[in-house]
Amino acid sequence: MDINHLKRKFYHSIQMMYEGFKDLFFSNGKPKVDFNTSIIVFALVGILGAIFLVIRSSWHLPVALPASPPPSSIYQNFIAATGIIESATDNIQLSTNIQGIVQQVHVKVGDQVNAGMPLFTLDTRQAEDDLKLKKAQMSQAKALMKQAEAQMKASKDKYDLANRVKDKRAISQDDFLARKNAYLTDKAAYEASIENFNVAEANVKASITNLSLLTVKAPMDCQALQVNIHPGELASQSPLTGDYIASPVNTPLMLLGGLQKMHVRIDIDENQAWRFVREAKAIAYLRGNSAIKFYLTFVREEPYVVPKTSLTGTSSERVDTRVLQVIYRFDPKDLPLFIGQQVDVYIDVPKERDQKYAPPKAPEKRANHE
């Protein structure tokens, strides 16, 4: 029966009852019934209220129909599993080697980037000043090296001159040894200056490296799927805490991935894992629209059975069951699909596999005859 019809009928009955009670028990605004009659009236009102509650409890709201009928398997023997669409390059959760304040973000969500392109840059002022200091120290070390080299050459010339004297009586032994020792001392000082210059040069290279680390670059050709930082924010070495694919887990500074080819990461319950065959056919249906379906090609399996997650792309939200994760690929051409969407997957199971590894049946309970 229609709920609205019941409501109208009940409210009409209440109104008619109110008018009848008013004419029956009141005259010109004054009551015309005694105490016992009033008790009977209140009892009738209570009975009517109970009837109303019973009728109301029987009202049922219409059940909302699903936007799309649930998918059904095209295979006779199959494994039903759930999966999540991810990039063929895996979802790259970008971080930084150095913690700092973001100075500039070079890309926005959806941008295609090539390997080596800058993605974002941290504050470079301190690193630039450090590089200038190191370059100045290297210039100073180079000047001291040249000075030590000239001093060594002068000492060597004096020592060579004394060493070429044929008549040793023309120069005293003390003078000869002094020249020799001066040359050896200046030579050691020159060699030390070379090492000091090498250290200064290495410090400059280290400063250049530190400065380059402040600009995070794309590790490969890919697309920016998420950009979770803005100029002025702190970029931490560990991922920020936030919402990644609708789950309160660690959020990367940026999420990258290639969209030319997509993968589906499927979770197969450990109780069904023994039925899985790599070469078997598989088909996926988009969650919420079973009209969007596509066939899958096996890529690899991850042999370590892991705790099941809630399909968030993260390693948290553990539950009691464990799953075997299998990766399939497909061509997303002309399909309205996005990274992170969930799919229902059916994997064909050969009858030979079920027959060969079928678990033993539980023994039937015998009737207890006494």
Q: What are the tens digits of pLDDT across the range 271-285? A: 999 999 998 999 999
Confidence band for 314, pLDDT divided at 50, 70 and 90: very low
Cα dihedral across residues 131, 135, 137, 138: positive or negative: positive
Give the tens place of pLDDT for each residue, 332-358: 888 898 888 999 999 999 988 888 888
Which residue type does 302 have? Answer: E
Please tell me the distance from the alpha carbon of residue 320 to that of residue 2, in angstroms, as a whole number.
45
Confidence band for 258, pLDDT divided at 50, 70 and 90: confident
Please tell me the distance from the alpha carbon of residue 290 to that of residue 72, in angstroms, as a whole number.
9
Walk across the sheet containing 215-217 and list its strands. 215-217, 118-122, 100-105, 234-235
The CB density around residue 132, as the number of other CB atoms within 10 Å, is: 12
Checking DSSP bridges between strand 215-217 and strand 240-241, what pairing results, if any?
A: unpaired
Topology of domain 92-123+215-251, CATH: OB fold (Dihydrolipoamide Acetyltransferase, E2P) (2.40.50)
Give the tens place of pLDDT for each residue, 176-206: 888 889 999 999 999 999 999 999 999 999 9
Domain spans, the chain: 3-57, 78-87+260-356, 92-123+215-251, 125-213
Confidence band for 241, pLDDT divided at 50, 70 and 90: very low
The CB density around residue 133, as the number of other CB atoms within 10 Å, is: 13
Per-residue burial over 82-105, b = 16 or more CB atoms within 10 Å of its CB, e = otherwise: bbbbbbbbebbbbbbeeebebbeb
- Of 18-22, 228-232, 235-239, 305-309, highest mean pLDDT: 228-232
Please tell me the distance from the alpha carbon of residue 21 to that of residue 40, in angstroms, as a whole number.
12
* Comparison of pLDDT for 94 and 54, the residue scoring more: 94
Please tell me the distance from the alpha carbon of residue 84 to that of residue 286, in angstroms, as a whole number.
10
Angle of helix 125-163 relative to helix 173-213, nearest 10 degrees, comes to 160
Give the pLDDT of residue 28. 62
Please tell me the distance from the alpha carbon of residue 191 to that of residue 94, in angstroms, as a whole number.
45
Residue 16 has pLDDT above 80, yes or no: no
Give the tens place of pLDDT for each residue, 144-156: 999 999 999 999 9
Q: Give the 3-state secondary structure percentages of the chain, helix then strand then coil, rounded to 5.
A: 35, 25, 35
Q: Where are any strands of DSSP class E within 143-217?
A: 215-217
Helix (H, G, I), strand (E, B) or coil at 81: strand
Q: Count CA within 13 A, CB hemisphere, residue 131.
A: 13
Task: Read off the tokens for 288.
Answer: 């919420």
Is 3.30.300.30 the CATH classification of the domain at 78-87+260-356? no
3-state SS, one letter per residue, for 239-304: CEECCCCCCCCEECCEEEECCCCEEEEEEEECCCHHHCCCCCCEEEEECCEEEEEEEEEEEEEEEE
In the chain, the largest separation of any two C-alpha atoms, in whole Å, equals 159
Whether residue 77 contacts residue 349, with contact meaning beta carbons closer than 8 Å, is answered with yes
Q: Rounding to the nearest 10 degrees, give the CA dihedral for residues 129, 234, 258, 294.
A: 180
Within this chain, domains 78-87+260-356 and 92-123+215-251 share the same CATH topology: no
- State residue 286 phi and psi, 5-degree precision: -65, 130
Which residues share a beta bridge with 285?
A: 293, 344
